[in-house]
Chains A and B, each alone.
Chain A
């Protein structure tokens, strides 16, 4: 199979065009807004579901294996397929995309939350109980703070992955920058639109990555050194 050879950009169809950005600022802003909305709502829904699930999995250890195995299976299903399986129920709506993306994000956040809570030192828990703390107090004041670096790393990884996967939502008309990428392709390989929308998507992922790194640093000042991934 031949490797791609960089082709000199066609003068009439450049990849990078400042002109495109200025004349289509409105389109880009609308796509960006949709992209952020889809990402943030999916991740927030995933966090809201993952936390109670993680606590449940820890209380009932028998659920541990099945829940994590089911997560692995769901994670294997391609986003194209998951969105399309939800389509008959939710139709061409943002909900179709959000539910699919919530599923993927949920798996990452859940896994990291369970691992983070599991890693809390048994002696620390014993000490907390010895101080007279009840189960709920131990959870909120000891386990969650100690597991926070791992939980937040999970949220960061889930968010950055979600930013990329939102683009596939273009299939059902809600893909943020993905809709621009696909419509640029359909409109006779409109390089400027394809490249600008892809670059904007990467930029958004980087912004989320940096912001969530800062959140990790400031919310866990005691773990500045050597937090995982």
Chain B
């Protein structure tokens, strides 16, 4: 059986092991993970950024995250009896790895807002919450959006590892392929996981552009208010 046959076989497009269901599983896991990560990371990053405290934490969290092997954390979580094998363990592991990019980018965005802009806002009579909500967050939007995009793409890509601990998602085909020594299944699964990650990256690039206020888009409008949106871009994702 070759790849074209596999992809055109209607059996692979229906049922619980069909491509649509497996894709949905992977996206569902990713959504839960991103939800968890956002709930944990965003309040901390917004408050620390606003107070300009915790630079050390924000800058070193990425290093710590890099040192922990995803597979190791995933397997540890799946081996804890109260979590168990499957998608829950994967979603928690993915959420943990999504926190550093979210926290670091949001912190840098908020803390990087020009002090003169904040002073002006305070001078206009804005309180702390108003400055955060109406000045700092809008100005930090490009960096916050970049962090969410990096984290989401990473989560969707890594969710394929869930299959290694008995979870679903598109990685299922790859892992089953190795177990059955079925080359077609392995390569088909690899193509699907790679394609999902690339499509997510492409779509989020468009969303990020749409979410960035017009005046802050590169090459448009006021450069005077532009926060340093390039700070984090040298730091690779993953």
B157 at the interface (CB under 8 A from A): yes
Task: Name the interface size band of chain A.
Answer: 35 or more
B73 at the interface (CB under 8 A from A): yes
B-contacting residues, A175-229, CB 8 Å: 175, 177-178, 181-182, 184-185, 189, 191, 194-195, 197-198, 201-202, 205-206, 209, 228-229
Chain B residues, Cβ within 8 Å of A205? 66-68
Chain B residues, Cβ within 8 Å of A76? 153, 157, 197-198, 201
> Measured between alpha carbons, how far is A18 from B194 in the docked complex, in Å?
40
Tell me which of A51-59, A81-89, A122-130, A132-140 binds B. A81-89
Q: Is the interface of B mostly helix, strand, loop or mixed?
A: helix
Counting from the closest, the 5 A-B pairs by CB-CB distance are A198-B72, A84-B190, A205-B67, A78-B157, A167-B71
Nearest Cβ distance between residue A136 and chain B, in whole angstroms? 27
A-contacting residues, B69-106, CB 8 Å: 69-73, 75-83, 88, 91-92
Q: Is the interface of A mostly helix, strand, loop or mixed?
A: helix
Chain A residues with CB under 8 Å of chain B are 1-5, 7, 10, 72-73, 75-78, 80-82, 84-85, 87-88, 104, 107-108, 111-112, 115, 157, 160-161, 163-168, 170-172, 175, 177-178, 181-182, 184-185, 189, 191, 194-195, 197-198, 201-202, 205-206, 209, 228-229
Total interface residues in chain B, CB < 8 Å:
51
Nearest Cβ distance between residue B72 and chain A, in whole angstroms? 3
Chain B CB within 10 A, most for which of A78, A82, A167, A178: A78
Check A167–B72 contact: CB distance below 8 A.
yes
B213 at the interface (CB under 8 A from A): no
Check B160–A78 contact: CB distance below 8 A.
yes
**Between-chain CB contacts (< 8 Å), 19 pairs:** A4-B77, A10-B81, A77-B157, A80-B190, A82-B190, A87-B183, A157-B66, A164-B68, A167-B70, A167-B72, A171-B164, A171-B174, A171-B175, A172-B178, A184-B75, A194-B76, A201-B72, A205-B68, A209-B67
Check A112–B234 contact: CB distance below 8 A.
yes
Check B160–A81 contact: CB distance below 8 A.
yes
Chain B residues, Cβ within 8 Å of A167? 69-72
